[in-house]
Every structure is written in C-alpha cells, then in structure tokens.
Amino acid sequence: GDYHIVLAENRRMFNELQELKGNIRVYCRIRPFLPGHGEKHSTVEYIGEHGELAVVNPSKQGKDRRRNFKFNKVFGPDSTQAEVYSDTQPLIRSVLDGYSVCIFAYGQTGSGKTYTMTGPNGASEEDWGVNYRALNDLFSISQKRRDSLIYEIQVQMVEIYNERVRDLLLSDVHYNTLKYFVSLDFHTLGIVSTVQPNGLAVPDASMHPVTSTSDVLELIDVGLKNRAVGATAMNERSSRSHSVVSIHVRGKDSHSGTALHGNLHLVDLAGSERVDRSEATGDRLREAQHINKSLSALGDVIFALAQKNSHVPYRNSKLTQLLQSSLGGQAKTLMFVQLNPDVSSYSETVSTLKFAERVSGVELGAARSSK
Ligand code: ADP
C-alpha cells in the first residue's frame, strides 16, 4: 500500500529531475475541434503517455500515411489549462532561483497558441493560460521567501514585426502609429550578449517595476492595446508578429546581501503557416519572408544548443538576438507546439511537427547517450 505510493512518488520526483536536466523541452498540444468550423476528421491517430504521437493523413494510402513523433509530453484535445501548466511550474521556481527561462508558443494561426499562453478572452481563473499562472506563482513564491530574499520584479514588452522591434510599453498609448513606431537600436546588442548584471534583454525598451500579478496584467493589457494600434495602420497583424513579455527578477539575500538575477520570457510567436508564394505579393510577401526567416533562425539556434555546437547562430534574426542571453548556457527553454487536429491542416501539422522534432529530438538523443 503506502510503500508503493512512496515508490511511485520517488519515481515521479526522479523523472521530474531527469527531465529538468535537459534544458530544452518540447510539449505538444492538440486543440479540440471547434464547433461550427466544419472540422470533422482528425489527423491524430495515437497519443501515448510518454510523449508519443502518431498522425495520419486519412486521404492518403500506403506507407507514408502514418508518421510517428516523440516529445517530452503530448497534451490531447481534452487536456485542461491546469494540466498543461502543471509541468511548467518547476521552471517558474527556477526563475526565482536565478535562471533564465524562455517559454514559446509555436504553431500555425488558429492552432491555440494564444489559448495556451493567455487563455480565452475574458477567461475565468480555471481557463487561465500559462502566462497568468506563471505570474501568480512567481509572485506567490517570492512572497513565501520574503524572510530570506527580497525580490524586485520588472517587466518589458516588445513586438517584433518585419525584423523591427517595437516597445509596446512606452508610457502611454499613442494613437499616431507612425510616431509610435519606435525601432530599437540593436547595435547595443553586442554588449548584452556578455551577460549584463541586470539581465536586460532589450537595452532600449522601457522597464516597469511590478509588485503583483495584476500590475503585470495591466501592463500586458496596455501592450496589447498598443499592438492593436499599430495593427490598424498595417492590417491585422498580431498573428504575423512575435510578442515578447520579459519579466526580470532580482533577488537579494537579506542576510548576506548577495544578489541573483532571473528572467522569464513569454513569447507568442507569429503564425508558422506557409504563405502561398503565388498569391502573396508586396507587404504580405515581405511579412511571410521575415516570419520564415526568424522562425527558422530560432529553430537553428535551439538545434545548435541541443547539439552542443560551439557556434550558435544567434545573429540571424532579431528574435534570437533579443533572447541570446536567455537561450543556452544554464537557461531553460520550453516550447509549446500547437496543432490543429483537422485533416485540412495536415500538411501544416506535419511541417510544425518536423520543426518540433528538429528542436527536441536531438536533445533527447544527446541526453540519453551521455547517461
Ligand atoms: P492562435 O493563437 O494559434 O492563432 P488561438 O489561441 O486564437 O490560436 O485559438 C484559435 C481558436 O481555438 C480560438 O477560438 C480558441 O479559443 C480556440 N481554442 C484553442 N485551443 C483551445 C482549447 N484547448 N480548448 C478550447 N478552445 C481552444
């Protein structure tokens, strides 16, 4: 009886530790069918308990019909927001221990990136996404430690669109888009890469001290409004830009006075769908090229880190330059790979899974062979 419970608990903790040793984790989440979308046939054939996933193309016959993948975890269409977050919690604790953590959401538009990261519009607590839950934990854990550690927490929020970076939190919402469009100077980034004591990811973006989850939510709200202001002049573009919320934590030991610095970057990536080359022209084509370039640059960086290559190509995109000090080394990366299960998305699903496999599979292999 009890003996087995203890064994199971030990095994769980052991697995969790093992899993935490790998610095790159990939979780796949399949969103449910949406009512009224005419979605009927799922490409998902099998979800295993240990991250196995098989997808099939129902309209295809023969040996290419089925593809198998393996990730750190696969969350099926019935998984709850709480379940999806539960494995992320140890990462949030490590931010307060002085680590850098990046959490990405990757997938085609409509695959549930925003749902996983933020939750549905006007979400009740139960439906809260990873961001809210992470912030709540960040503040509650820092409160619990306050007898020994004093934490200062600050927030930045930027958007990357067409390889230009925009501060989404410049004091007020400005309704003049052109005036508002501030490009940050990236010449300074060379300096940032040599781990700054304060861990600033974007030297020129405004920093906002916060003391509670609601402070952060207010700021994110301002950021989202600013993002929308930019969008009116340039068409709806939230799915075609990356947004990065960066939470900088500074903890000071109240006895010894020593300080630690942690960062948490919450990144909602642009939609990964390929734009039909024959149809896209002008702005749309340019956007598509920038998105392609930055997503593959991100894939290349994570792949190089997983391979433990000596050269990591950070400089190939603004996104990877921006996150350079938080990708690699002791930093931890979690990528939520989102899938639309409908057969109409089959080819996007396979290309999403190939991207995910590239960034995760090698790290798993490397971890295994070193044991
Ligand atoms: P993306 O950010 O990738 O474009 P969204 O998060 O906006 O996609 O999701 C597209 C639609 O699917 C939204 O209406 C969202 O509420 C719904 N959706 C996504 N994931 C889930 C889920 N796990 N459960 C219920 N609805 C979901």
DSSP per-residue letters across 117-180: HT-STT--GGG--HHHHHHHHHHHHHHHTTTTEEEEEEEEEEEEETTEEEETTSSS--S-HHHH
Backbone angles phi, psi at 142, to 5 degrees: -65, -35
Is residue 338 lining ligand 1, measured as CB closer than 6 Å? yes
Supply the pLDDT for residue 362.
38
3-state SS assignment for residue 7: helix
Contact of 335 with 97, CB cutoff 8 Å: no
Residue 341 belongs to domain with CATH number: 3.40.850.10
**Which band of pLDDT confidence, cut at 50, 70 and 90, is reported for residue 37?**
confident
Asked whether the predicted pLDDT for residue 1 surpasses 60, the reply is: no
Is residue 107 lining ligand 1, measured as CB closer than 6 Å? yes
| Dist. CA 118 → ligand 1 center (Å) | 10
User: Which numbered atom of ligand 1 lies nearest the CA of 239?
Assistant: 4
pLDDT (average), residues 94-99: 94
User: Which numbered atom of ligand 1 lies nearest the CA of 338?
Assistant: 3
Is residue 110 lining ligand 1, measured as CB closer than 6 Å? yes
**Which band of pLDDT confidence, cut at 50, 70 and 90, is reported for residue 7?**
low
pLDDT in tens, 290-303: 999 999 999 999 98
Is residue 31 lining ligand 1, measured as CB closer than 6 Å? yes
pLDDT in tens, 132-148: 999 999 999 999 999 99
What total of structural domains would you count in the chain?
Answer: 1
Is residue 239 lining ligand 1, measured as CB closer than 6 Å? yes
Supply the pLDDT for residue 39.
75
Supply the pLDDT for residue 325.
85
Is residue 111 lining ligand 1, measured as CB closer than 6 Å? yes
* CA 316 to mean position of chain CA atoms: 19
Whole-number mean pLDDT of the chain? Answer: 80
More confident residue, 277 or 31: 31
pLDDT in tens, 298-341: 999 998 988 888 999 999 999 999 898 899 888 999 999 999 99
pLDDT (average), residues 67-94: 94
**Which band of pLDDT confidence, cut at 50, 70 and 90, is reported for residue 229?**
low
Is residue 240 lining ligand 1, measured as CB closer than 6 Å? no
pLDDT (average), residues 225-252: 76
| Dist. CA 223 → ligand 1 center (Å) | 21
User: Which numbered atom of ligand 1 lies nearest the CA of 117?
Assistant: 6
| Nearest residue to 357 via CA among 308, 295, 303, 305 | 303
Mutate to test the pocket of ligand 1, among 27, 30, 31, 34 (most ligand atoms within 8 A of CB): 31
Supply the pLDDT for residue 166.
83
Q: What is the DSSP string of 68-115?
A: EEE-SEEE-TT--HHHHHHTTHHHHHHHHTT-EEEEEEESSTTSSHHH
Is residue 352 lining ligand 1, measured as CB closer than 6 Å? no
pLDDT in tens, 152-194: 999 999 888 888 888 888 754 443 333 333 333 333 332 232 3
**Which band of pLDDT confidence, cut at 50, 70 and 90, is reported for residue 365?**
very low
In this prediction the ipTM stands at 0.99
What is the Cα–Cα distance from 247 to 141, expressed in whole angstroms?
15
Supply the pLDDT for residue 222.
84
| Dist. CA 369 → ligand 1 center (Å) | 37
Range of the domain at 274: 2-369
Supply the pLDDT for residue 203.
58
User: Which numbered atom of ligand 1 lies nearest the CA of 77?
Assistant: 23
| Dist. CA 127 → ligand 1 center (Å) | 12
Residue nearest atom 10 of ligand 1, based on CA coordinates = 110
Supply the pLDDT for residue 12.
56
